[in-house]
Structure 1
Amino acid sequence: MLSNKLSRSLVFSSVLGLMLAGCSSQSDEEQVSKTQIEYLYDQAQESMANGNLNLAQEQLSSLNKRYPFGPFAHQIQLDLIYLHYKLDNTDEALAAIDRFISLNPNHKDVDYALYMRGLVNQRAEHNAIHNLAGVDRSDRDSSMAQAAFKDFAELVRKYPKSEYAADAKKRLIALKSRLAKKELAIAQYYMERQAYLAAANRGRYVLEHFSDTPEVENALAIMVESYDQLELPELREDAMKVLRANFPENQLVSAR
């Protein structure tokens, strides 16, 4: 009887010893893994600091694939977003941002991700200008500018106390002007084709949505001329009153 109890005790001790050894081994492996990730992450940071952004991107992408749930996972993903932005990898940056926000909607750095999405869209819009000769291309596609405007507006609305909110507000002003110019370019297109009602509607749209931009003056002038051509004196006079009150030096006001 005693020998049976002793035998069971020895077996239990052996199993417990193996379990403890396994736990110890697992803990050691986790520690080694964390140390290795930290070392590789530091290497990527050094590459970034030295201006070798392509290498840093390769290093962080490799880390992100090997350790998608590692101790530096979120920071690696945010760093990759920044690198995609700096390297003008628009599609990759937007995909990474949307993935980060979708998987981490309550993360403390969601405001940064939103801010970066605005920057990425704004830069993409800027890169599409191709105005090396100083040509104003207000008629170009404005979809990226609209997307950037939406991103910055969402940031300011959801995170008004974010450290990025102030800069987002400044960028919203510039984007409003850009979008207003696009509307005026379309209005001018209609004017040249004698589609005066469509031109007047574009001018009114600028007044309603971009009233705090310099483009309002031209919008009012287009409305005055369009209503004049359409023989709508009351609407023409209403537009002229606003133009006269706010822009007394305008050519249409002084010519009257």
Structure 2
Amino acid sequence: MEPPNIMHGKHDDSSFSLGTTFRVILITALLGLAACGTTQEPRQPVDLGMSAEELYEQAWRRIQGGNFDGAMQSLRRLEARYPFSPEGQQAQLDQIFVTYLQRDRRGTAEQANRFIRENPRSEHLPYAYYMQGMAWFETRGSFTRRVLGFDHARLNIRNAERSFDAFRELVERYPDSDYADDARLRMIYLRNTMARHHWYVARHYLDQGAYMAAAARATRVVEDLQPNAVTPYALDILIEAYAAVGEETLAADTRRVLDRSYPEHRRGQRPPAL
């Protein structure tokens, strides 16, 4: 799931312009550089006379060369010297991007939050909210877990919740922005991840004989995380939990809902991993 135009703003030799196709290629290359560590360049004397355009060009060259620390220095210098200019605001946005390339989740979220806080009327707020969501978004666990077939929905889902909340804020406040459609797709994935997590917890409670705790977790899947692909499996747990505590009427009602809403569902299975 490739982020749309994750490098905000534009860049070319005469202005800030960058084509969409090139952005996608560049993101892939830059993330590869980030995985290999930051490239160092020879220390250069600080030129206090550099214009905003020259500072931005310097930052861009450093980004392309994988020198993310150097790029951050240039962007911070640009912001400090031209704080109320369009270039200063662009420097703030690009600091979010560079921090993301450095794979610093918390730093990316903090940079995005700073932009939102300091620029409450900016037209670029959708991008900042999008990058808040991207900071915490993840689709796969570690290599070892993937090889072993371990579903990362079993683990702590705090990052998924943070990501979902940021994307939801974006979609609710800016439903027609360039980032809204991609955010909606990611919300579907995250909602299913959170629902699977609660199913695992509910299943554990059920196996331990904590029937009402299992029912409470399953109810969260059914009521709070719609729509999701885990609901029929959560209804299975509700039926078992209600039956185990003698609530036969509730169990029967839930069974009728399950049969009517999911006629092809087979009982006793686990929800599929994404």
The TM-score, its normalising length taken from structure 1, stands at: 0.78
- Deviations 1:208-255 (CA, angstroms, capped at 9, x unpaired): 1223211011101111111111121111111111111122233349xx
1:177 aligns with 2:192: yes
What is the aligned residue count? 221
2:79 pairs with 43, 57, 64, which one? 64
1:225 aligns with 2:236: no
Partner of 1:214: 229
| More displaced 10-residue stretch of structure 1: 46-55 or 140-149 | 46-55
Q: Is the contact between residue 140 and residue 152 of structure 2 (CA under 8 Å) also seen in structure 1?
A: no
Tell me: CA distance 1:187–1:58, structure 2 relative to 1, closer, same or farther (3 Å).
Answer: same
Say which SS state the counterpart of residue 72 (structure 1) adopts: helix
Distance 2:185 2:89 in 1: 28
Partner of 2:158: 143
CA RMSD of aligned residues (A): 2.5
Distance 2:99 2:144 in 1: 21
Matches for 1:162-201 after TM superposition, within 5 Å: 162-201=177-216
- Deviations 1:43-101 (CA, angstroms, capped at 9, x unpaired): 21233345544442343234334554455110011001011112111222222111111
Greater C-alpha radius of gyration? 1
- Higher share of residues assigned helix: 1
1:240 aligns with 2:252: no
Distance 1:245 1:182 in 2: 25
Letter in 1 for 2:205: Y
Distance 1:191 1:71 in 2: 57
Partner of 2:103: 88
1:131 pairs with 119, 126, 145, which one? 145
Partner of 1:202: 217
Cα distance, 1:184 vs. partner? 0.7
Partner of 2:7: none
Q: Structure 2: which 5+ runs fail to align?
A: 1-46, 269-274
Matches for 1:14-163 after TM superposition, within 5 Å: 36-69=51-84, 72-123=87-138, 131-133=145-147, 134-163=149-178
Say which SS state the counterpart of residue 150 (structure 2) adopts: coil
| More displaced 10-residue stretch of structure 1: 210-219 or 52-61 | 52-61
